[in-house]
Structure 1
Amino acid sequence: MQAQTICVVGVGYVGLIQAVGLAKLGLKVTCVDLDASKVAMLKKGIPPIFEDGLEDALREVIARGNIVFTTDIGEARDCGLFYVAVGTPTSERTGNARLDYLDSAVAGIAEIAPAEAVIVVKSTVPIGTCAGLQARLDRNHPGKGLEIVSNPEFLREGTALKDFFNPERIVIGGTSEAARQKVRDSYAAFEDRGVPMIVTDTSTSETIKYAANAFLATKVTFINEISDLVETVGGDIDQVARGIGLDSRIGPQFLKAGPGYGGSCFPKDTLALATIGRRHGVQQQIVETVIRINDSRRFHILKRIEAAMGDKLSGKRVAVLGLAFKADTDDVRDSPAVDLVHALLEEGADVQSFDPVARLAVDHRGYSQCETIAEACKGVSAVLVATEWAAFRTFDFASVEALVDRRYIFDMRRIVDITASWVPRWDIERIGSPLMRASA
């Protein structure tokens, strides 16, 4: 791979990890984004997202001269390989992924790209999108030989940089062997290590991405339903999860009972897959059921909180610990914690929240975001542990006993240490368990 041949268009979560990862591998990367303020931050080595190790890695590749940032796609006209990682948000009207950002990015690249350039779609897109983009390029730029390749990402927020450097597989879909090989060459360091390369057509590649996320979302939803059963009949949901997860055919990941899946991928991708199935007359009944159950999960938790607090939340003060949809990220998109904050406010409760990195803008006189756990707990009738941050796992709730109106914890993530010395003095209710009543 020769210097100055790679461009990444769209340096949000996926694009920035891709760009920094390739730059750390020694490749030269030009990053293009229309957001001038974001580009200015990145030039200073400040990432716009929180991700473990990202800032150090970004500053390293900037110092090495392996990465540059610009708002002008024209500065990438010498690149032969373009990775496109723009957003594909869900359309409220159709339920499908919106492709206007992607269409605009590809059109802009096509205008400046050299002949035989390869445009790689990292964004998650409906099945058939890449084939449609290829047809449009062939029609609008005949003779230029531009090729579309699908290369979905499989990053986990919170461990994205680690995932980039330790992929379980790399999927490359295209119609031209030369184009697929060009993308494959950019991942040569991984192929040399024996990372599986799935080289296929674009539709298969697009389907792999949706199917993978839908299957993981199904595991999350399945264990939550089993958790509800355990709450009723008795037992230990953690041991149930371990007992089935040790089966190599099932595996232990995504079997943690909790408030349901959230974030920028699972809600959007399951909805899109269900929409694609209906459009093609092949209803994805399992996926549609998963969506319905996950959507109702927040309501189920709210009802349980109301029952524990006397069926009336109006006027009650509640601490919500955690806003991000999972630990080690600042992403609050489709976060169960955020949904519960809004639901509590709608029920008339006053909410005091704390998250180590995530921020939430809520224009409501009953809401405040605090700077410490202790501040969030002051004067509350209940503490909701909504995100599995390590700080909540190890927090000594004895230190806030004098601050709370009632010693009540609702542990939605099953992370509170129920062997701690202060536990007998608190009422503790956990997802998948009956209420543990205070004995003192």
Structure 2
Amino acid sequence: MKICMIGAGYVGLVSAACFSEFGFDVTCVDNNPERLKQMEEGRSPIYEPGLDDLMARNIAAGRLRFSGDLGPAVKAADIVFLAVGTPMRRGDGHADLSYVYGAVEELAPYLDGFTVITTKSTVPVGTSREIQRRLAALRPDAEYAVCSNPEFLREGSAIQDFTHPDRVLVGLDDARAQEVMEKLYKPLSIRNAPVMFVSRESAELAKYAANAFLALKISFINEIADLCEEVGANVQEVASAIGKDRRIGDKFLHPGPGYGGSCFPKDVSAIIRTARESKSPLSIIEQVQIVNDERKIAMAGRIVKAANGSVRDKTIAVLGVTFKPNTDDMRDAPSLVIVPMLQERGATVRVYDPQGQKQAEPLLPGVTWCADANDAILGADVAVVLTEWNEFRALDLKAARARMSGDVLVDLRNIFSADAAQAAGLRYHSIGRPVSAD
């Protein structure tokens, strides 16, 4: 079976590499010559653990190739995946579907024989039917079916998520398309991964609903963390207690400076817009968006408060700026709010991130980039942990205190022990924990 993947961004590239690992013949089409050259050499333009090796292996095996020529790839394909960007549209919060519909117009002339056209991109409810309507106008003679097959990949563990999914969700209403999709996902179904066939509308909405619910859990535990601080409870103990309840689960119950990334902010916004236009507003999810926006601002204030109420003429060391570890993704990262606010208040900011510098440099002007964490904290009055990269957990706190000019450590990810930080001579501030707690 031959696959054409239109779009070599995060979703498209990971999916293409994993499908080729299953033994399928995959052509990944992208319109960026620089990215194409890099990928043809087996080098991923995004940071994702294990992806370079996966690409190189399947390129060498002849199962994975990259092209800027859409026509031959579509013509030969049994399945065409749409994995182009659907960013938040300026002004109204909707998903911008211009790339999706543009790809549909480009591929239409090359359809040859029965072809399954499947959205991998996160798209609003009704997009599959609109694609079908447009194709009917463009190619009334063509044989095709339009499906929705949203991805549920976590950045930093995407290959594991793809090859060992909680479920595979396919929205369709065509028997021939279901046969094709069953064949595609047979390597997973024989491992007992649930492959769910539902309506297209259900598949499209389920993706948004899942991300909105996870964003809700993050915002919930962040507010509980604030309450813990006021009443003397420990948020990690509270989260562990409620997470043991199988009805709740322990995932996404880690307090921090707010969610970011390529999915949650835009998907929350998009489902809010869809609900409003459908006259069925999601008031809980609307509040999640507000809480998360306010959270990032509040974290900047928390750093200022820890620095005795002012950061003017002080040096702040920021450890980690990507929205989460094991990725170079800076989209809607809390650092994009917090760091400029510190700069506006007169701070000098020194930054280190293991993978994020290239993406972050144009987004965080005026900061000083450092070679490692020890370099960043040299001479700092305040050190701040914004992203919980594993290498920060191994930081020698006594040595760190010796390198600093000040003694304040603001741990917005709770990766350190309060007792260890205090023993090192640091004034330690974490999220939702009493000062004496681990």
TM-score by length of 2: 0.96
In structure 1, the residue matched to 2:262 is 264
- 1:135-154 to 2 correspondence within 5 Å? 135-154=133-152
Counterpart of 2:374 in structure 1 is 374
Aligned runs of 1:242-391 on 2, under 5 Å?
Answer: 242-359=240-357, 360-362=360-362, 366-391=366-391
Secondary structure of the residue that 1:425 maps to in structure 2? coil
- Residue 46 of structure 1 aligns with an amino acid whose one-letter code is R
Structure 2 stretches lacking a partner, 5+ long: none
CA contact 1:47–1:55 (8 Å) conserved in 2? yes
Task: Look up the match of 1:48.
Answer: 45
**Residue 407 of structure 1, CA deviation:** 1.3
How do 1:139-218 residues align onto structure 2 when only pairs under 5 Å count? Answer: 139-218=137-216
Q: Distance in 2 between matches of 1:364 and 1:67?
A: 36
Other-structure match for 2:10: 13
Query: Aligned partners of 1:259, 1:365: CA distance in 2, in Å?
Result: 21
Contact between 2:257 and 2:296, CA under 8 Å: does it hold in 1? Answer: yes
Percent sequence identity over aligned pairs: 38
Residues 383 and 410 in structure 1, CA contact (< 8 A), matched pair in contact too: yes
Measured in 1, the distance between the counterparts of 2:436 and 2:343 equals: 26
Match of residue 54 from structure 2: 57
Give the match's secondary structure for 2:403.
Answer: coil
Bigger mean CA offset, 379-388 vs 332-341: 332-341
The one-letter amino acid paired with 2:8 is V
Q: Does the aligned pair in 1 maintain the 2:169–2:196 contact within 8 Å?
A: yes
Partner SS for 1:432: coil
Measure, in 1, the Cα distance between the counterparts of 2:430 and 2:421.
Answer: 18
Secondary structure at the aligned position of 1:171 is classed as: strand
- One of 83, 95, 98 as aligned partner of 2:96: 98
Please tell me whether the aligned partners of residues 387 and 413 of structure 1 are also in contact (alpha carbons under 8 angstroms).
yes
CA RMSD of the aligned region, Å? 1.5
In structure 1, C-alpha distance between the alignment counterparts of 2:345 and 2:127, rounded to whole Å: 42
**Which consecutive unaligned segments of at least 5 residues does structure 1 have?**
none
CA distance in 2, matches of 1:421, 1:372: 20
Question: Could you tell me which amino acid in structure 1 is paired with residue 216 of structure 2?
Answer: T
Cα distance per residue 1:159-216 (max 9 Å; x no partner)? 0001110011111111212113212211111111221121111111001100000001
8 Å CA contact 1:398, 1:422 repeated in 2: no
Asked if 1:72 corresponds to 2:47, the answer is no
Q: Does 1:433 align with 2:430?
A: no
C-alpha distance in 2 between matches for 1:424 and 1:378: 16
> Aligned-pair distance for 1:364?
7.1
CA contact (8 A) 2:297 2:337 kept: no
- Residue 400 of structure 1 deviates from its aligned partner by 2.7
Q: Is the 8 A contact 1:213 1:266 kept in 2?
A: yes
Query: Matched residues in 2 for 1:264 and 1:363: separation?
Result: 15
TM-score by length of 1: 0.96
Rounded Cα–Cα distance in structure 2 between residues aligned with 1:421 and 1:355: 21
**8 Å CA contact 1:151, 1:171 repeated in 2:** yes
Whichever residue aligns with residue 66 of structure 1, its letter is: R
Counterparts of 2:237 and 2:402, CA distance in 1: 34
Task: Give yes or no for contact 2:83–2:121 (8 Å, CA) kept in 1.
Answer: yes
In 1, Cα distance between equivalents of 2:91 and 2:436 = 45
Shift of the 363–30 alpha-carbon distance from structure 1 to 2, 3 Å rule, reads: closer
Q: Which residue of 1 aligns with 2:420?
A: 420
- Alpha-carbon separation, structure 1, partners of 2:427 and 2:249: 33
Contact 2:306 2:408 in 1 (8 A): no
CA contact (8 A) 1:397 1:422 kept: no
Deviation, structure 1 residue 362: 4.2
Q: Is the 8 A contact 1:230 1:236 kept in 2?
A: yes
Q: Deviations over 1:230-258 (max 9, x none)?
A: 01110111010000000000000000011
Question: Is the CA contact (8 Å cut-off) linking 2:117 and 2:144 kept in structure 1?
Answer: yes
Between 356-365 and 75-84, report the one with greater CA deviation. 356-365
